[in-house]
């Protein structure tokens, strides 16, 4: 069943690329222009339908997220994309349809701006709640935001970006938590060194590509420059978040995060089994398992695998939510970690009896 879903998702992605690329080639290559008939209206209508209906549906199938609001946003985006892909002289008869996409996007932008105003208004109480919480910042901030805006995906994405900039620029003087109930995940690996190497590679690529593309395509040059700067900021923030947020064990919960990429709150009451068998841990990790493992140049395996009674929600990049049935964890001090996890799990099981 899982393989079938992945196959459908992959097929939808390739079809999406095919739809977009074929429409672009049709209007921007000598072969495509030669194949256009004298009466272009039918071809233009087909391209508009491809970009405003077919492409959004394929995108939804690829992402496996189906919602009316999401489809409307994608449809409007497709209409705007059509204005750039289809030459303007071919769109003279279809201007009202094109402006419909702009209008929808305008309404959505106004709606998002209103959410921004609401967020700005609620920043003081959110920060007050964060300061009064004993939880790690990644968890206390997200919990405070979720209490104020429980179903606002845009706000969650924005707050995720705020955390990225905070960790990248505002945490250099902070020290890592070294309490007895905390465990680091990266010190016995070269993960941070690997991240720094990636940052260096991005810097070199940015300088080289920006210089090469500046004289040929200024727009592409600027877009790549912005994306590369964002990537550098993300990696710096990710390193700081990993360093300052070790795995933390409380009486009834485990708070575990891996930089900015993923985090999860696990109640001991939700743990069904702890797997320590070496042979099992060295097997390929299934798709319903979230990893908290610092991977570098060597092949490493988890210290233990937590099997949950039912899937528990984890927060991924940009605030995306996904549920997992198992949790693979690798820490720098596995013996002490296993000992305290077993003690807390036994205590939780006794309280349930």
Q: Are 268 and 295 in contact (CB under 8 A)?
A: no
Choice between 203 and 112, residue whose per-residue pLDDT is larger: 203
Structure confidence by residue, pLDDT tens digits, 273-325: 999 988 888 888 888 899 999 988 888 899 999 999 999 999 988 788 889 99
Straight-line distance from the first to the last Cα atom of the chain, in angstroms, rounded to the nearest whole number:
36
Query: At residue 149, does pLDDT exceed 90?
Result: no
Look up residue 301 and give its two tokens: 């395996």
- Reported as a pLDDT band with limits 50, 70 and 90, residue 353 is low
Structure confidence by residue, pLDDT tens digits, 14-73: 898 998 888 888 887 777 767 777 777 788 888 888 888 898 888 888 877 777 777 877
Query: At residue 105, does pLDDT exceed 70?
Result: no
Query: What is d(CA 259, CA 191) in angstroms, rounded to the nearest whole number?
Result: 11
Query: Which pLDDT score is estimated for 90?
Result: 78
Mean pLDDT of 84-88: 81
Query: Which pLDDT score is estimated for 121?
Result: 82
Query: What is d(CA 91, CA 102) in angstroms, rounded to the nearest whole number?
Result: 14
- What is residue 68's three-state secondary structure? helix
Q: Are 284 and 254 in contact (CB under 8 A)?
A: no
Choice between 5 and 60, residue whose per-residue pLDDT is larger: 60
Comparing 30-44, 160-174, 321-335, 339-353, the range with the smallest average pLDDT is 30-44
Alpha helices, DSSP H, located in the chain: 2-28, 30-35, 41-49, 55-63, 68-85, 95-132, 137-148, 153-169, 191-214, 218-244, 278-281, 334-352
Query: At residue 137, does pLDDT exceed 90?
Result: no
DSSP state of 92: G
Going from the C-alpha of 228 to that of each of 58, 199, 231, 251, the distances in angstroms are 28, 9, 5, 42
Choice between 151 and 293, residue whose per-residue pLDDT is larger: 293
Model confidence, pTM: 0.73
Structure confidence by residue, pLDDT tens digits, 231-290: 999 999 999 999 999 999 988 899 999 999 999 999 999 999 999 988 888 888 888 899
Mean pLDDT of 116-131: 82
Q: Are 230 and 260 in contact (CB under 8 A)?
A: no
Choice between 298 and 106, residue whose per-residue pLDDT is larger: 298
Residue entry with tokens 């610092």: 294
Query: Which pLDDT score is estimated for 329?
Result: 94
Structure confidence by residue, pLDDT tens digits, 187-198: 988 999 999 999
């Amino acid at each position: 069943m899982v393989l079938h879903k992945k196959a459908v998702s992959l097929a939808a992605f390739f079809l999406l690329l095919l739809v977009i690329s074929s429409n672009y080639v049709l209007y921007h290559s000598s072969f495509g222009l030669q194949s256009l008939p004298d009466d272009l209206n039918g071809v233009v209508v087909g391209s508009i339908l491809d970009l405003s209906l077919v492409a959004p549906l394929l995108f939804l199938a690829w992402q496996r997220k189906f919602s009316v609001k999401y489809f409307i946003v994608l449809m409007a985006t497709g209409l705007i994309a059509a204005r750039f892909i289809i030459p303007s002289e071919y769109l003279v008869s279809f201007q009202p349809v094109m402006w419909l996409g702009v209008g929808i996007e305008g309404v959505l932008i106004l709606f998002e701006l209103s959410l921004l105003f609401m967020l700005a208004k609620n920043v003081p109480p959110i920060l007050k709640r964060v300061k009064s919480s004993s939880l790690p910042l990644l968890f206390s901030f997200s919990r405070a935001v979720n209490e104020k805006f429980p179903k606002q995906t845009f706000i969650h994405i924005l707050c995720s970006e705020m955390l990225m900039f905070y960790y990248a620029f505002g945490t250099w003087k902070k020290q890592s938590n070294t309490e007895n109930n905390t465990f680091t995940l990266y010190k016995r690996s070269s993960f941070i060194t690997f991240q720094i190497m990636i940052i260096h590679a991005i810097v070199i690529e940015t300088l080289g590509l920006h210089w090469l593309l500046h004289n040929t395509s200024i727009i592409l040059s600027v877009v790549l420059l912005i994306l590369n700067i964002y990537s550098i900021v993300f990696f710096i923030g990710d390193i700081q978040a990993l360093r300052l947020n070790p795995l933390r064990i409380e009486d009834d919960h485990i708070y575990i995060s891996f930089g900015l990429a993923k985090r999860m709150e696990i109640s001991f009451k939700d743990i069904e089994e702890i797997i320590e068998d070496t042979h099992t841990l060295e097997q390929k990790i299934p798709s319903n398992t979230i990893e908290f493992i610092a991977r570098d140049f060597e092949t490493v395996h988890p210290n233990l695998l937590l099997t949950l009674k039912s899937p528990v929600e984890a927060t991924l990049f940009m605030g995306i939510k996904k549920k997992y049935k198992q949790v693979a964890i690798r820490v720098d001090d596995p013996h002490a970690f296993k000992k305290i996890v077993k003690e807390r799990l036994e205590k939780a099981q006794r309280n349930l009896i």
